[in-house]
Amino acid sequence: MFDFLKRSTWQHLLFLALFVSVQPATAGLFDKSPYADDGPLQVEEAFVFGQLQDGNRLNLYWDIPDDYYLYRDRIELKGTDKTLISNRVNSPAEQKEDPLFGQVWVYHNRADISYDLASANEDVIDDTLIVTYQGCWEGGICYPPVTKEIKVAGITKNDLSDAPSSSTETLEPIKVYAEGDVAEVNAAGDDSMGTESNESAGPVSLSEQDQFAQMIGQGNLFVILGAFFIAGLALSFTPCVFPMIPILSSIIAGQGRKVTAGKGLFLSVVYVLAVSITYTLAGIFAGLFGENLQALFQNPWIIGSFSFVFVLLSLSMFGFYELQLPNSIQTRLSKASNSQEGGTVAGVAIMGFLSALIVGPCMAAPLAGALIYIGQTGDPVLGGSALFSMSLGMGVPLILVGTSAGKLLPHAGLWMGKVKAVFGVLLLLLAIWMLDRIVPTVVTMWLTALVLIVSAVYMGVLSNADKAKPATHIAKGLGIVVLLYAIALMAGALAGGNSVIYPLKAFAGSGSNASTQKLAFINVTTPEQLQSQLDEAKANNQPVMLDFYADWCVSCIELEVFTFADATVQRSLDRFKVIKVDVTKNDGPAKELNRSYNLIGPPALIFYNAAGEMLSNKTLIGVVGPQDFVNHISSI
């Protein structure tokens, strides 16, 4: 049974089942952003810098192409002990709502900044000054700060120490990550023109994903890889990885009597490497181009096709049929390789590739940090290395499970058939779990109940247990538990429930326990709808939480079921306006919403204070527990 795995055929089945989804998938994959034809340019081409000196007056200017902009208050000129700098004059700037820094002033097309210079100690001096500036591409990429040395000559002495200068508020330093070091630059949203503040302030706290980005930009290579590997281990105990366990286990069980611990280890490593390489390449692509490949694969046709494949695999596990290619094709494959092992390896690798893209789309702080670094610096090597290390950490439990399965699984006989039946049930449940992304939850509740009822009957619930075999009593007891859960699912579905995990939640009373209630999210799907809600909250002096969500996002469901259902969390959000930014469709408006907040995909929680200012250091990526969430927002 399951001989198709040896014969290198089941991967052909996968592609056949997925063939019907090629057109809708590629339609999204090759959609160009409105900026695709223009960029991103190299930073020197995006912001063409020049200088003019007229005596003690220095003018700095930038020519800026369309779809690019320069932050006015990221422009800074620093001198030495020999030169005094004062009386900065800015050319008119435009106000922009920036997702990172709130209301800011930016330059399009052209920027001109002028300063008065003076010699501090001598009559006439030459000096080298340092100018720093930063800008962004409208297509979703912000460049790291640029630092240039500029030469000035013939600066004369002029007593500027008593010269009046217009005041400006102290600018709060914000961390921006560049290659090698973390540069501290100023951010301000006022429209005043005046002298730059030379006061320094302490750094603000960073969000978790920004801390990971900073680690990549500053840390030792081995420290980076080790930290991301440990982060991957932590992620391995989440729904990002759990669905892959029955897939890998069924592959190894399908080896039949040839399965060994060594073979289980080998196939597990192949599967994990395929998953890791896929995560890494998808992450690099997302970081450089702002396109989430995993989101592109959350297409109803693709999900439905992949669920169908799992159903076919499960039926084969039950022994209904064996999937194999025609003999003529098998003969050609056999001639191409003396061993069928190569086909098995290729099949496992393909399943790992598809599992990474389709089964477990996840977003977490370490992943987001790596994507921030790649997007801001354009360095896919170091960021990709961190992603690969994280993916390997996520795969450690899979390798342990695969090796253990190879060692512990019976090699032949009746027990092997029972073990395959267990994996068949797991594959059916996995197919239903994937369908939950595209069908109403009540449908998945009924389907799950049906599978569990059949499983309970198979476990002997309706049969008399053989008193001489204790194992039959254990199986029957487990079958009763499974049957009761199936009944609970059906009752919950009839009562209008919408949770497979908490099927009887619909019967909960409306008492004082707030956890039985749902947060009153306001749903938005376009930037215009979101801006309207933000404006309304600002007018009402109300803080805001944005929940970036998608039906196909496993971690989003986890947040909804375990965090937002908590009574303490709900009480802590009473004063907030809670907005659900639904990016399920991954269409143009959804991509623009993600891009406007420099997100690759959900889940992400964005916070605004009552004054309507975005708190970038409070952004949460991935899943956070109830108590950690309450502690996190207590200071907002």
* pLDDT tens, residue by residue, 353-371: 776 665 555 555 555 555 5
Can you read off the two tokens belonging to residue 208?
Answer: 């978790």
Q: 75 with 133: CB under 8 angstroms?
A: yes
The pLDDT tens digits for 451-470 are 889 888 888 777 776 665 67
Specify the higher pLDDT residue, 5 or 574.
Answer: 574
pLDDT at 287: 56
How far is residue 536 from each of residues 367, 540, 612, measured CA to CA in Å? Answer: 33, 6, 10
pLDDT on residue 608? 92
Band of pLDDT at residue 415, cut at 50, 70 and 90: low
Residue 405 has pLDDT above 70, yes or no: no
Indicate whether 488 pLDDT > 70. yes
User: In this predicted structure, which of 26-40, 129-143, 311-325 has the lowest mean pLDDT?
Assistant: 26-40
User: Using 50, 70 and 90 to split pLDDT, how confident is the model at 67?
Assistant: confident
What pLDDT score was predicted for residue 414?
A: 54
Q: Which residues contact 53 (CB under 8 A, 6 or more apart)?
A: 59, 152, 153
Q: Which of 195-209, 411-425, 477-491 has the lowest mean pLDDT?
A: 195-209
232, 256, 333, 354 from 264: Cα distances, Å = 22, 11, 24, 20
- CB distance 95 to 120 below 8 Å: no
Helices (H) and strands (E) in the chain, counts: 21, 19
Residue 173 has a pLDDT of 31
Q: Rounded mean pLDDT of the chain? A: 70
Local structure of residue 614 (DSSP, 8 states) = B
Burial 67-80 (b: 16+ CB within 10 A, else e): bbbbbbbbbbbebe
Question: Would you say residue 341 has pLDDT above 50?
Answer: no
- Give the per-residue pLDDT at 192: 33
Q: Which is higher by pLDDT, 9 or 610?
A: 610
Residue type, 631: N
φ, ψ for residue 336, nearest 5 deg: -70, -20
Report pLDDT for 288: 58
pLDDT confidence of 295, banded at 50, 70, 90? Answer: low
pLDDT band at 140 (very low <50, low <70, confident <90, very high): low
Orientation of helix 300-317 relative to helix 244-253, angle to 10°: 40
Least confident piece of the model among 33-42, 115-124, 275-284: 33-42
The DSSP string of 472-540 is: HHHHHHHHHHHHHHHHHHHHHHHTT---SSSGGGGG--SSS-GGGS---PEEE-SHHHHHHHHHHHHHT
185 forms bridges with which residues in the sheet? 174
Residues 270-275: what's their mean pLDDT? 85
With a CB cutoff of 8 Å and minimum separation 6, the contacts of 402 are 248, 249, 252, 264, 265, 267, 268, 271
Other beta carbons within 10 Å of 510: 7
∠ Cα 156 159 163 (to 5°): 125
Sheet holding 522-524, edge to edge: 522-524, 577-582, 544-549, 604-608, 620-621
Confidence (pLDDT) at 419: 65
Q: Indicate whether 582 pLDDT > 60.
A: yes
**Cβ–Cβ < 8 Å for 351, 230:** no
- The pLDDT-based confidence of 335 (bands split at 50, 70, 90) is very low
| pLDDT tops 60 at residue 572 | yes
- The answer to whether the peptide bond before residue 603 is cis (omega within 30 degrees of 0) is yes
State what percent of residues in the chain have pLDDT above 70.
61
DSSP 147: E
Please state the rounded mean pLDDT for residues 372-384: 59
Q: Which residues contact 601 (CB under 8 A, 6 or more apart)?
A: 286, 292, 294, 295, 361, 363, 548, 550, 553, 583, 594
> Does residue 263 register a pLDDT over 80?
no
Q: How high is the pLDDT of residue 462?
A: 78
The pLDDT assigned to 604 comes to 86
Q: Is the pLDDT of residue 19 over 90?
A: no
**Dist. CA 20–CA 68, nearest whole Å:** 40
Predicted local distance difference test score (pLDDT) of residue 289: 56
Domains of the chain: 43-204 (2.60.40.1250), 514-633 (3.40.30.10)
> Lowest mean pLDDT: which of 235-249, 275-289, 337-351, 374-388?
337-351
Instruction: Please give the residue that has the higher pLDDT: either 626 or 599.
Output: 626
- Read off the pLDDT of each residue in 594-617 and give the average, rounded to a whole number: 83
Question: Which range is least confidently modeled, 158-167, 509-518, 555-564, 584-593?
Answer: 158-167
Q: Given pLDDT bands bounded at 50, 70 and 90, which one contains residue 64?
A: very high
Tell me which amino acid residue 221 is: L
Q: How confident is the model at residue 482 (pLDDT cuts 50, 70, 90)?
A: confident
**Among the ranges given (45-49, 431-435, 513-517), the one the predictor scored with the smallest mean pLDDT:** 513-517
